[in-house]
């Protein structure tokens, strides 16, 4: 799969080349990980169709999605997204695990599920994967039963700033990708906790009442984006933005 570079200068690359050697951990502030957000949206701003992102992205989007997971210490996701998308083992291929190791990372990232009331399905594939390492951030005081993964709990409630601080200080997480959903994105942005946005724009209009990539209440102040690069494949656009509150 080839990508056509539109910005900053014309050229060609592949998803594997584009999302390699990012060294995101080197950008981390002292007290928390460096966080990038990875989302997909249609031309009319919808982040899901019939409640899921399945079917929105093509081959290039999937390749960027999986290669971006090779560049971080942790994946952060809200419980609703994890449940709907049926989250499984984060790195499914040996070559992607090898890529992580070449970049100095563990073969598998930590999966962080944010769920204030612990509304996580215990039968999620990632929770039934014995090799998976999962951290559940919650305000609840109970634990899930019947899981097979290596699960720990962070009783940080809805305090995302505290969660990220503890990920850095107690779990040595220097970089993370936030994969939504829209509500989690809104709280992360409101707290100034997202440093970059990787956005795939699917070349289609779907209509309906689906959410955008940022839901919830209006942000107190706008977050500006500085374009880093933009690529195209089969009409879909792939962009990377540095965010400035």
Q: Does domain 3-244 have CATH number 3.40.50.300?
A: no
* pLDDT tens per residue across span 89-107: 999 999 999 999 999 999 9
Please give the average per-residue pLDDT across 10-32, as a whole number: 97
Average pLDDT, the chain: 96
pLDDT band at 51 (very low <50, low <70, confident <90, very high): confident
The reported pLDDT for the residue numbered 209 is: 87
The percentage of the chain sitting over the pLDDT mark of 70, rounded to a whole number, equals 100
The reported pLDDT for the residue numbered 72 is: 98
pLDDT for residue 220 is more than 80? yes
* pLDDT tens per residue across span 137-176: 999 999 999 999 999 999 998 899 999 999 999 999 999 9
Please give the average per-residue pLDDT across 7-12, as a whole number: 97
pLDDT for residue 245 is more than 80? no
Please give the average per-residue pLDDT across 115-120, as a whole number: 96
Structure tokens at 238: 């792939």
Structure tokens at 86: 């049926």
pTM, full prediction? 0.96
The reported pLDDT for the residue numbered 53 is: 83
Please give the average per-residue pLDDT across 121-126, as a whole number: 97
The reported pLDDT for the residue numbered 217 is: 80
The reported pLDDT for the residue numbered 216 is: 82
> What is the secondary structure of the chain as a DSSP string?
--EEEEESS-EEE-HHHHTS---GGGG--SSS-EEEEEEEEETT--S-BTTB-TTT--HHHHHHHHHHGGG-SEEEEEHHHHHHTT---S---HHHHHHHHHTT--SSPEEEEE-TT----TT-GGGG-TT-EEEEE-S-S---SS--SEEEEE--TT-HHHHHHHHHHHH---EEEE---HHHHHHHHHTT---EEEEEEES----SS---SS-SSPPSS--EEEEEEEEEETTEEEEEEEEE-
pLDDT band at 130 (very low <50, low <70, confident <90, very high): very high
Contact 243, 18 (CB under 8 A): no
């Amino acid at each position: 799969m080839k990508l056509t570079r539109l910005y900053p200068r014309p050229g060609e690359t592949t998803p594997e080349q584009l999302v390699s050697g990012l060294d995101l951990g080197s950008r981390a502030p002292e007290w928390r990980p460096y966080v990038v957000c990875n989302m997909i949206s249609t031309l009319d701003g919808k982040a899901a169709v019939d409640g899921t992102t399945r079917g929105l992205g093509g081959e290039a989007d999937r390749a960027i999605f999986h290669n971006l997971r090779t560049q971080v210490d942790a994946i952060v996701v809200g419980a609703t997204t994890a449940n709907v998308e049926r989250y499984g083992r984060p790195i499914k291929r040996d070559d992607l695990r090898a890529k992580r190791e070449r970049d100095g990372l563990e073969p598998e990232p930590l999966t962080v599920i944010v769920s204030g009331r612990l509304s996580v399905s215990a039968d999620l594939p990632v929770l039934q994967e014995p090799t998976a390492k999962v951290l559940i951030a919650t305000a609840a005081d109970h634990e899930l039963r019947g899981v097979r993964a290596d699960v720990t709990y962070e009783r940080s409630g809805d305090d995302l700033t505290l969660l990220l601080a503890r990920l850095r200080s107690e779990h040595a997480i220097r970089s993370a990708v936030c994969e939504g959903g829209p509500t989690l994105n809104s709280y992360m942005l409101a707290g100034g906790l997202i440093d970059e946005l990787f956005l795939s724009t699917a070349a289609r209009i779907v209509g309906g009442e689906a959410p955008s990539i940022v839901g919830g209440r209006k942000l107190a102040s706008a977050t500006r984006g500085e374009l880093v690069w933009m690529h195209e494949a089969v009409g879909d656009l792939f962009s990377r933005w540095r965010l400035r509150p």
